[in-house]
């Protein structure tokens, strides 16, 4: 294999969860550019249809399925259907996620559980469903989309931080338990990325000024900008490729330097 081929995903099947748009879509697009066959799921048919149109517009012949990643029965049916229709999954990207921004003491236990269910339990369910075939095939790549909140807390995101902190450790544990089968499990920790999930934090104020949180993030980021979903494509391709076969249990932070920086003096 020549050096460049190490980064190729040709012949590989990549499943990206929650990838009709946002970070998942950008990661899937990059993996398609590296040669992967793209499969994605979303929670509603209209979202899957929207995603299929978006992939087609990019010249990507993706396959989309409706599946709630928190539902183990649906997930097992999804994996069986993909294996029958497309092939064994070589690369799993656990991207689907939600956030609820509520002060902890005002958050109900049900709301807390819902975030944990999607952001932590679902990656467990998805990984458990794909690993047996990866073991049979002799290789596999699992990439969990973590967060700044895998390392840091902030007001109103207790459930999300607990989930993403847990996802960091689940990543390390999958790496530890299944590395002997040539399965690498790593995480990507995006910084603050301009997607629908963070749109409320970037809304222009009534007086035309920037959202205070928007200005805060700019001051905390050495790159002095929000990330774009496309900033995550290269790191994801690296972790999905043979170039990272000895990288295991690592969380690759793609954050413009936030975690390294105390922040700009006001």
Binding status of residue 9 toward ligand NAP by CB under 6 A: no
- Which residue stretch of 77-85, 110-118, 146-154, 170-178 sits at the interface with ligand GCO (rule: CB under 6 A)? 146-154
CB 23 within 8 A of CB 30: no
3-class secondary structure for the chain?
A: CCCHHHHCCCCCEEEEECCCCHHHHHHHHHHHHCCCEEEEEECCHHHHHHHHHHHHHCCCCCEEEECCCCCHHHHHHHHHHHHHHCCCCCEEEECCCCCCCCCHHHCCHHHHHHHHHHHHHHHHHHHHHHHHHHHHHCCEEEEEECCHHHCCCCCCCHHHHHHHHHHHHHHHHHHHHHHHHCEEEEEEEECCECCHHHHHHCCCCCCCCCCHHHHHHHHHCCCCCCECHHHHHHHHHHHHCHHHCCCCCCEEEECCCHHHCCCCCC
Active site residue 261: no
d(CA 266, CA 263): 9
- The residue (of 75 and 167) whose beta carbon lies closer to ligand GCO is 167
- The residue (of 118 and 157) whose beta carbon lies closer to ligand GCO is 157
- Which residue stretch of 18-26, 75-83, 172-180, 202-210 sits at the interface with ligand NAP (rule: CB under 6 A)? 18-26
Among residues 123, 140, 190, 227, the one that binds ligand GCO under rule CB under 6 A: 190
Binding status of residue 98 toward ligand NAP by CB under 6 A: yes
- 44 φ/ψ angles, rounded to the nearest 5 degrees: -135, 145
Q: What is the radius of gyration, based on Cα positions, of the chain?
A: 18
Q: Which residues contact 228 (CB under 8 A, 6 or more apart)?
A: 26, 193, 194
- The residue (of 23 and 131) whose beta carbon lies closer to ligand NAP is 23
Residue 23 interacts with which of ligand GCO, ligand NAP, none, CB < 5 to 8 Å by class: ligand NAP
- Which residue stretch of 19-27, 45-53, 118-126, 190-198 sits at the interface with ligand GCO (rule: CB under 6 A)? 190-198
Site map (CB under 6 A) of ligand NAP, residues 204-243, x = contact:
----------------------------------------
- Which residue stretch of 28-36, 73-81, 194-202, 236-244 sits at the interface with ligand GCO (rule: CB under 6 A)? 194-202
- The residue (of 130 and 161) whose beta carbon lies closer to ligand GCO is 161
Among residues 5, 6, 11, 44, the one that binds ligand NAP under rule CB under 6 A: 44
Binding status of residue 70 toward ligand GCO by CB under 6 A: no
Taking the complex as a whole, how short is the minimal distance between the CB of residue 246 and ligand NAP, in angstroms?
25
The closest of 80, 126, 72, 120 to 97, measured between CA atoms, is: 120
Catalytic: which of 160, 178, 192, 253? 160
Residues in the site for ligand GCO, rule: CB under 6 A? 99, 101, 147-149, 154, 157, 160, 190-192, 197-198, 201
Tell me which residues are annotated as active site. Answer: 160
Residues in the site for ligand NAP, rule: CB under 6 A? 17-18, 20-24, 41-44, 47, 68-70, 95-98, 118, 145, 147, 190, 192-193, 195-198
């Amino acid at each position: 294999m020549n050096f460049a081929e190490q980064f190729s995903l040709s012949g590989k099947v990549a499943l990206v969860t929650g990838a009709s748009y946002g970070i998942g879509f950008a990661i899937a697009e990059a993996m398609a550019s590296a040669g992967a066959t793209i499969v994605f799921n979303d929670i509603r048919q209209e979202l899957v249809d929207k995603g299929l149109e978006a992939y087609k517009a990019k010249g990507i012949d993706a396959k989309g399925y409706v599946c709630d990643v928190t539902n183990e029965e649906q997930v097992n049916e999804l994996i069986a259907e993909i294996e029958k229709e497309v092939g064994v999954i070589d690369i799993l990207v656990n991207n689907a996620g939600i956030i609820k921004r509520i002060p902890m003491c005002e958050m109900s236990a049900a709301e807390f559980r819902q975030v944990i269910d999607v952001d932590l339990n679902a990656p467990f369910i998805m990984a458990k469903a794909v690993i047996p075939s990866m073991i049979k095939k002799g290789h596999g790549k699992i990439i969990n989309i973590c967060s700044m909140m895998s390392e840091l807390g902030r007001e109103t995101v207790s459930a999300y931080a607990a989930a993403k902190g847990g996802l960091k450790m689940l990543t390390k544990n999958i790496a530890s338990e299944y590395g002997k089968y040539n399965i690498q499990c790593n995480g990507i920790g995006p910084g603050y990325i301009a997607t629908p999930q963070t749109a409320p934090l970037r809304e222009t104020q009534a007086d035309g000024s920037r959202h205070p949180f928007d200005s805060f993030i700019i001051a905390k980021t050495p790159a002095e900008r929000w990330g774009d979903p496309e900033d995550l494509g290269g790191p994801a391709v690296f972790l999905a490729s043979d170039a990272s076969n000895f990288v295991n249990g690592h969380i690759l932070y793609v954050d413009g330097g936030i975690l390294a920086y105390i922040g700009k003096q006001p």
